[in-house]
Amino acid sequence: MVKKVGVLTAGGDCPGLNAVIRGIVKTAEYAGVEVYGFLEGYKGLIENRYIKLDPRVTGGIISKGGTILGSNNKTNPFAIPVKNDKGEVDYEDKSFEIVERLKRDNYDCLIVIGGDGSLKSGRDFTRRGLNVIGVPKTIDNDVPHTDITFGFYTAVDVATEAIDRIKTTAESHGRVLLLEVMGRYAGWIALAAGIAGGADTILIPEIPYDLTKVAEKIRQRRALGKKHSIIVVAEGAKPVDGELMVKATVGDSPDAVRLGGAGDYVAREIEKLTGIEARNTTLGYLQRGGNTCAYDRILSTEYGSMAMKLAIEGKFNEMVTFTDGKITHVPLDEVAGKETKIGAASSNIKPVDLDGDWIETARRIGICLGD
């Protein structure tokens, strides 16, 4: 029987994290399972910093954004940087001693709530003999083998409201206004918010764009008496035969590339091509903060409850998924993808389905996708 379970939230913060934690704890309560939360993701796991989680701690957190456990996206337990005697940086694998300690402290399972990189690390811990259950977390909706990740629809709601707000300025001044949204290398947020907000053009990483096509769309609208245009740009969008817009490279993070600047670039080039004033707004972290929307609260609770159910049933080394309208699970090995090297970063992401309903709908209603 499972008696003691650890939980951590790793990677970037995300609406719904607290609701997942609450779902885990409330399900554990009725099964007599103790739950302990490691602080600041894998960093707290390495340093053995934790708190006991019970309904008194998780009461009232279902709507709150962020995570009461804290998070960290710069710590890889399989490659901890340390300076040697020569002042050079070496990397130590702390995973063996972590697994030994967790087993010594009678943990039956570790629930990892994270995105593709964090779940890849969770899978790698299974190779060290640890029982792990994964819960997919990202506003980007790019974790494979699940239809929807919690936090996605909260981000879409925020981005849609932003489109509604910039649209009135665009109409008042006859401008082209752009909104750059998050999503990394997948265009789910841009596509969903663009459709919901009534955007005229949506540029996503999966479809390299030709700005002459975008300029043509703007001219067509003006010919019909519509002097303003709204363009939604995913941060990972790039021009045909062009490169991603990289804002910075951070050396101390497993995900070293920081995207940024795609919206500003498109605005400058569109202004040159059309002679129409174009301005970009980068939404940034607003998409990840604040209260969690109702849909994500429900989905997060389902994810957390199912994760604990799997633990109680002894179904380890699985990731909880939402597939075809049902909460189910798949092996963590499938989520990690082809990258089998322990400690290596994950590159297994779920792109927008170019034959899917959202793309077809966008095209049918006349949205320009830059191709």
**Same domain for 205 and 114?**
no
pLDDT of residue 89: 85
> DSSP states of 4-63 as a string?
EEEEEE-SS--TTHHHHHHHHHHHHHHHT-EEEEETTTHHHHHHT-EEEE-HHHHTT-TT
Same structural domain, 140 and 178: no
pTM of the model: 0.92
User: Is the separation of the CB atoms in 86 and 74 below 8 Å?
Assistant: no
Which of 153, 175, 152, 177 minimizes the C-alpha distance to 163? 177
pLDDT score for 337: 72
The answer to the question of residue 253 being in a domain is yes
Same domain, 67 and 163: no
**Which CATH number fits the domain that encloses residue 219?**
3.40.50.460
State the residue range of the domain holding 126: 4-150+292-336
**Which pLDDT belongs to residue 117?**
86
What is the mean pLDDT of the segment spanning 177-185?
Answer: 95
Are both 253 and 203 inside the same structural domain? yes
Whether residue 324 is found in the same domain as residue 240: no
CA pair distance 119, 133, nearest whole angstrom: 9
CA distance 136 to 142: 9
Residue 20 lies in a domain: yes
Within this chain, do residues 124 and 89 fall inside the same structural domain, yes or no?
yes
pLDDT at 161 exceeding the cut of 80: yes
Based on the structure, what is the number of domains in the chain?
A: 2
Does one domain contain both 310 and 250?
Answer: no
Over residues 71-92, mean pLDDT: 87
Q: What is the pLDDT of residues 122-147, one digit of tens each?
A: 999 999 999 999 999 999 999 999 99
Q: What is the largest CA-CA distance in the chain?
A: 72
Question: Do 296 and 153 contact (CB within 8 A), yes or no?
Answer: yes
Residues 19 and 140 in one domain: yes
Tokens representing residue 16 in the block: 């719904």
CATH number for position 96: 3.40.50.450
Taking alpha carbons only, the member of 65, 285, 291 closest to residue 181 is 285
Confidence band of 358 (pLDDT split at 50, 70, 90): very high
Phi, psi of 286 (to 5 degrees): -55, -30
The set of long-range contacts for 223-228, using a CB threshold of 8 Å and a minimum separation of 24, is: 227/171, 227/174, 228/167, 228/170, 228/171, 228/173, 228/174, 228/175, 228/176, 228/177
Residue the block writes with tokens 């998070």:
71
Catalytic residue among 13, 116, 124, 140: 140
Active site includes 140?
yes
Measured CA to CA, the distance from residue 330 to residue 249 in angstroms comes to 33
In a domain, 343, yes or no: no
Q: What is the mean pLDDT of the chain?
A: 92
Q: What is the model's pLDDT at position 81?
A: 87
In this prediction, residue 195 has a pLDDT band, given cuts at 50, 70 and 90, of: very high
Question: Does residue 116 sit within a domain?
Answer: yes
Together in a domain, 189 and 281? yes
- Residues 103 and 206 grouped into a single domain: no
Residue 28 — pLDDT band, cuts 50, 70, 90?
very high
Domain-located, residue 370: no
Asked whether residue 32 is domain-assigned, the answer is yes
Instruction: Look at residue 345 and tell me if it is in a domain.
Output: no
- Mean of the pLDDT values across residues 64-70? 94
The yes-or-no verdict on residue 322 having pLDDT over 70 is yes
Query: What's the pLDDT at 253?
Result: 56
Q: Confidence band (pLDDT; 50, 70, 90) for 343?
A: low
Place of tokens 């939980």: 7
Give per-residue pLDDT as tens, 281-310: 999 999 998 999 999 999 999 999 999 999
Encode pLDDT of 257-289 as tens digits: 778 899 999 999 999 999 999 999 999 999 998
Mean pLDDT to the nearest integer, 103-131: 94
Domain assignment present for residue 344? The answer is: no
Per-residue 3-state assignment (H helix, E strand, C coil) for 225-286: CCCCEEEEEECCCCECCCCCCEEEECCCCCCCEEECCHHHHHHHHHHHHHCCCEEEEECHHH
Does 280 lie in the same domain as 178? yes
Residues 125 and 200 reside in one and the same domain: no
**Nearest Cα to 303, choosing from 11, 12, 14, 24?**
24
Q: What is the DSSP letter of 345?
A: P
Position 346 pLDDT exceeds 70: no
